[in-house]
Amino acid sequence: MIIKIPLYAGGLGKTNGVEKAPDKILEKLKELNCNEDGFKAPLNELEIQIDNSNIEASQKTIEEEMKKAFTNYPCPIIIGGDHSITYATFKAFNQENCGLLIFDAHPDLMQEFDPATHENYLRNLVRDGLDPSNIILVGTRNQDAEELNFIAQNKIKNFNMKKISYMGKEEVCDAIMETCNKFDKVYLSIDIDAVDPSFAPGTGHCEPGGLTSRELLYFLHRLKNLKNIKAIDLVEINPEKEERLTIGLGAKIVNEMMN
């Protein structure tokens, strides 16, 4: 099941346009053939109705609706929307011994305040009880000193781009999968800005030096083999900034993760 959440209100005015991504990605997805595993999934979709003028009410609605979705669907693919949706979707998902695996150029650990935004949703989740040792960050390359201190003090696993370059994607993926296997369930969150802007320029914060699209797909193809990944989201695609490349990659990501 594909679940559309067209929220932009968590972007502090910086992400207007991301609400158009779910429909654009679904349109492109319908044009695609089988994925690289030779599988073509039926496209079943639903949309969570939210109010972008009221982020707190929207996050409450998202959490309530996603609790129902996680009961009804074994591994929904959620398309946003800005990254603040993960605050509500993961709260609906989270139980004891759940992992949160995030591909993102930024750690999104700015000082917590309410409502959660795309810059601090992860810090708010930790404040609300998420064990920091259950977080895995991949692809980070732009963060402030306070975020780095928070990562170090809380022993958050952070495979930044420098580490990926030195270790190689194969060794990093081995380490990620070893950690993920310790959890009962894993939530996978993909911020498109984890990818280098030469491959996905249609996003709010373009950061040079990111993953190639093929490197991201390498990680995703291997992670797809984990049986405990029970939710996937794709966020921060903004077709108002660029459509052809970024929507194309977004649709490719969704297609490859379907089974």
The per-residue pLDDT for 189 is 99
Give me the pLDDT at residue 14, please: 80
Domains and CATH numbers, the chain: 2-257 (3.40.800.10)
What is the DSSP track for 117-164? -TTTHHHHHHHTT--GGGEEEES-----HHHHHHHHHTT-EEE-HHHH
| Span of 4-18, 74-88, 150-164 with lowest mean pLDDT | 4-18
Please state, rounded to an integer, the average pLDDT across all residues of the chain.
97
Q: pLDDT value at position 195?
A: 99
Task: Extract the tokens encoding 95.
Answer: 């139980």
| Amino acid present at 188 | L
pTM over 0.85: yes
> In this structure, are residues 151 and 131 in contact, taking their beta carbons and an 8 Å threshold?
no
CA angle 99, 100, 103 (to 5 degrees): 140
